[in-house]
Amino acid sequence: MRVVELEVRHVRVPLKKPIKHASHVRTETDNVVVRIKLGDGSTGYGEGVPRDYVTGETIDSVIELLRKSDLGKQLKPAADFAEAVKIAEQIQLAPVPGDDRRCQGNAARCAVELAYLDAFGRAFGEPLINVTKLLAPELYEPRKEVRYSGIIMGAKGLKARIMGWAMYLYGFRQVKVKVGIAGHNDAKRLKIIRGRVGSKMDLRVDANEAWSPGEVAAKIRELEPFGISSVEQPVRHEDVAALADVRKQVKTPIMLDESLCSMVDAERALQNGWCDLFNLRLSKCGGFIPSLRLAEFAKRNGLGYQLGCQVGETAILSGAGRMFAASVKDIRFLEGSYDKHLITKNVSLEEISFRRGGRAPMLTGSGVGVAANPVLLDAITVRKEMLIG
C-alpha cells in the first residue's frame, strides 16, 4: 500500500463572528489541507492552521516547505496500520534556518501526518485512537464521550452577564475567559462572570501574551479572588523566563501555549520551572503524534496538560482532536469541535460539533473519523497544488 498522490490546498474558512483576544482579531482563517491518495484508492485528509505569531508560519511558507521536504521518499508504503504509524512518526520537513525551537513547520507537518494516518486508517479500518494505543499505551484510556469547555472572548458589561448565563444554562462544567484585552477591566469582568456561572464552575483565564513581566504577577493576583484554576500564556514568548519567578508570587497554576510548540520548548520549560501545565494543540505542536509525545513528557514529569484547538479548524482537524481527546487520559481541560458554533462553511457533511454541556461522542469512523467532501472543500479552496502524482 503506497502513496500515489499528495495534494496541498490553501483554504479560507469564514467565521460566523469576529474572534478577538489580546493579540489578534480574526474574521476568517487561512488553513492548509493536504489530501493523500493510496494505491487502492483510499483517500485521507489532514489540516494545519499556520499562525505567524505562534510558529512563524504562513500559508505561503507552509506550501513552500512542503515542496522542498522530499515527501515522496518519506511517505513510504506500509503493510498495516502499525507500520504506517511508525512511518508517520518519522516525518521530518526541511529545516527552517534559525528555528532553534524546532516548531516553524508544525502546521505543515500536522497536515501531512494527519492525511497519511487518515488514508492508511481508512485503508485498514483503523481509527486514530489506535495511534495512542500503539505508541503510548500508558496514556491510552478510550472514552465513549468527552466534554468540551465553553469560552468567553471579549464580552464585558451586559454581554459578559449574558455570556455567563449562557455558559451556565448550556450546561458547561468548564469555561475559559479571554483576558488582557485593551480597555477591559478584567477583575470586574471576572466578578460578573463568576456571579453568573456560579461557584461550582471551573473558570480559567487566557491572557494571550498580554502582560509585561513587571505587571504579570499583580494582574494574576487581582483575578485570584474569583477562583481561577489556571492562567494561560500571561506574557510574550520572549519574556517566558520571567514566569519562573512569577510562579513563586501567585497561587494560580501557569499554562504555556504560544511558548509550548515543541519538545524543545517542553524541555526548556521543565528545566527552568516556567509552568505547571501545557496547552497541546495538534496543529501548533506538529500533529497527533508529537502532541502525544508532549503529553507523555508532561505526565512523566508531573505537569498537567489540556488539549486546545485553533480558531477556524474544520471538521478534519476537529475529528483528529476528538480522536485524541477520546483516547488520552488525564486531559485537564478540553477545547475544540466548535464547528457549527463558529464557522460558516465546513468540509464534511457529518456534524461533529459539541452538544449541550460540551458533550461529544467518540467518533466511530476510521482515520480521523470524518470524511471531507470534495465539493464542500472546493467551495473554500483558494488554490491547490499537486506535490506527488
pLDDT of residue 189: 96
pLDDT of residue 19: 79
Phi, psi of 87 (to 5 degrees): -65, -40
Instruction: Report the greatest alpha carbon distance in the chain.
Output: 60
Read off the amino acid at residue 123.
A
pLDDT in tens, 328-356: 999 999 999 999 999 999 999 999 999 99
Residues contacting 154, CB < 8 A, separation 6+: 20, 21, 178, 181, 184
Average pLDDT score over residue span 87-115? 97
Q: Give residue 135's Cα distance to chain centre.
A: 20
Show the CA angle centred on residue 338, arms to residues 357 and 284, nearest 5°: 120
Answer whether residue 23 shows pLDDT above 70.
no
pLDDT of residue 2: 97
Other C-beta atoms within 10 Å of 389: how many?
A: 11
pLDDT in tens, 276-302: 999 999 999 999 999 999 999 999 999
For residue 334, give the C-alpha cell: 478540553
pLDDT in tens, 196-231: 999 999 999 999 999 999 999 999 999 999 999 999
154 pLDDT tier (thresholds 50, 70, 90) = confident
pLDDT in tens, 121-138: 999 999 999 999 999 999
The rounded distance, in Å, linking the Cα atoms of 318 and 160 is 27
Average pLDDT score over residue span 130-148? 98
At residue 375, the 3 state secondary structure works out as: helix
Residue positions forming the annotated binding site: 206, 232, 257
Q: Where are the domains of the chain?
A: 3-125+372-388, 135-361
**Alpha-helical segments (H) within the chain:** 59-67, 71-74, 81-89, 106-124, 129-135, 158-170, 186-197, 216-223, 243-249, 263-272, 282-285, 288-300, 315-325, 339-342, 374-379
Name the one residue in this structure whose C-alpha cell is 454541556.
357
Residue positions forming the annotated binding site for Mg(2+): 206, 232, 257
Of residues 124, 121, 174, the one with CA closest to residue 152: 174
* DSSP code, position 340: H
Average pLDDT score over residue span 312-319? 98
Residues contacting 180, CB < 8 A, separation 6+: 21, 22, 186, 207, 208, 209, 210, 211, 219, 234
Answer whether residue 25 shows pLDDT above 80.
no
Q: Give residue 159's Cα distance to chain centre.
A: 27
Q: CA–CA distance from 195 to each of 7, 71, 167, 382 (Å)? A: 50, 53, 12, 45
The rounded distance, in Å, linking the Cα atoms of 77 and 84 is 8
Residues contacting 329, CB < 8 A, separation 6+: 139, 140, 141
pLDDT in tens, 238-262: 999 999 999 999 999 999 999 999 9
Of 12-26, 141-155, 263-277, 298-312, the one with minimum mean pLDDT is: 12-26
In sign, the C-alpha dihedral spanning 113, 118, 123, 124 is positive
Q: Which fold has domain 3-125+372-388?
A: Enolase-like; domain 1 (3.30.390)
Of residues 248, 225, 303, 231, the one with CA closest to residue 270: 303
The answer to whether the beta carbons of residues 256 and 277 sit under 8 Å apart is yes
pLDDT of residue 245: 98
The answer to whether the beta carbons of residues 122 and 43 sit under 8 Å apart is yes
115 pLDDT tier (thresholds 50, 70, 90) = very high
pLDDT of residue 21: 67
pLDDT of residue 165: 97
Average pLDDT, the chain: 96
Show the CA angle centred on residue 87, arms to residues 372 and 101, nearest 5°: 90
Read off the amino acid at residue 162.
I
Give the CATH architecture of domain 135-361: Alpha-Beta Barrel (3.20)
Phi, psi of 320 (to 5 degrees): -65, -40
67 pLDDT tier (thresholds 50, 70, 90) = very high
Q: CA–CA distance from 54 to each of 102, 233, 236, 258, 260 (Å)? A: 12, 12, 10, 5, 9
Average pLDDT score over residue span 302-323? 97
At residue 253, the 3 state secondary structure works out as: coil
